[in-house]
Chains A and B, each alone.
Chain A
Amino acid sequence: MKARVHIFLKDSVFDPQGNTIAQMLRRTGFEKVHGVRMGKVIDVETTHQVAAEALSEVKKMCEKILTNPVIESYRVELMES
């Protein structure tokens, strides 16, 4: 089973990359851009057959290694293998 982890800096943490991208978008004609947050995506393939097990394991990975809860939030999405 494959899972996709979406990781973003928490809203309370300044994201200079997102900020710079937003400025550039506004400068190039997308005046209505109000904010951009840039994150990262990690795909994890496992041998789990049961969706609930895969989800719970990947969440554990997120809590332990893949994200730092002081600065980041995450969302896990299960995908068709």
Chain B
Amino acid sequence: MKAAVITFPGSNCDDDCVYALEEVCELSVDRIWHKHEVDLSPYSLIVLPGGFSYGDYLRCGSLAAFSPIMNLVRAASDRGQLILGICNGFQILCEANLLPGALVPNSSLRFICKDVTLKVENNLNPWLNAFKVGDVLTLPIAHGDGRYVIGDQAQAAKAQKILSYCDAKGALVDGANPNGSFDFVAGMVNEKGNVFGLMPHPERAADLRSLHGRKLFESIINHLREKASA
């Protein structure tokens, strides 16, 4: 099983993603520069990492959504390959219309860098199957533009939300929504479920300090193994 991590100009979590996938998940990983239009079909997992692609110019993720590699990412999505967007990667996937909605500046207008608690809303997917519905996990966030807005697709959003911001007990209450996201959305999948975007950083919690991020990656591996043996 091979994974690809795509680097855009301004990506800064690509090394962390490679580390988490190689050292923790023991996957073989190729790094791909956004201008290299390589065949993505051999990859079981394609990761769009966090960072500040194109300096967040115009809107976060908007310019990266037009990078040459994105046509190939779109084709990979159509083929049903797994695509994971973390933080800026989530913003890029939304701007590329591979996920519904958009991410705008936090309600507080502050950059927020801290651990948050998250509730698993749905585990029948490649991304969170190692958890139980209702599980509360802790992952770090680090973003200025993490407020999820859905526009007129609110109904679709409810079905595709798999991860919510919550308090320590798993309740979606005032004060548990760090950035003002619609419906406490922290992570969304597309309709088919093969594309997942989330603002928290699982790759920063896959090792010594916290293992919830590792468990997220283990979910992906579980899914790929099951698919391979089916």
Contacts and interface: CB of A to CB of B under 8 A. Distances in A.
Contact of B58 (A17, A65, A70, A71): A65
Interface stretch (B78-86, B102-110, B199-207, B219-227): B102-110
Interface residues of A, number: 14
Query: What's the dominant secondary structure at chain A's contact region?
Result: loop
A68 interface: yes
Interface residues of B, number: 20
Query: What's the dominant secondary structure at chain B's contact region?
Result: loop
A14 B151 contact: no
Given A16-B107, A70-B149, A71-B151, A65 B62 contact: yes
Contacts of A16: 105-109
Contacts of A50: none
Contacts of B95: 68
A20 interface: yes
B66 interface: yes
A14 B102 CA distance: 13
B85 to A, nearest CB: 16
Contacts, number: 36
B109 A13 contact: no
A28 interface: no
Interface string B82-106: 0000000000001100001110111
A59 to B, nearest CB: 17
A6 B100 CA distance: 24
B173 to A, nearest CB: 19
Interface in A21-46: none
B62 to A, nearest CB: 7
A66 interface: yes
B180 A14 contact: yes
A44 B148 CA distance: 29
A70 B99 CA distance: 12
B74 interface: no
B180 A68 contact: no
A71 B151 CA distance: 7
A69 B59 CA distance: 12
Nearest to B105: A16
Contacts of A13: 104, 149
Given A14-B180, A65-B66, A70 B151 contact: yes
Which 7 pairs show the lowest CB-CB distances between chains A and B? A70-B151, A70-B102, A71-B102, A16-B109, A68-B102, A71-B149, A16-B107
Interface of B: 58-59, 62-63, 66, 94-95, 100-102, 104-109, 149-151, 180
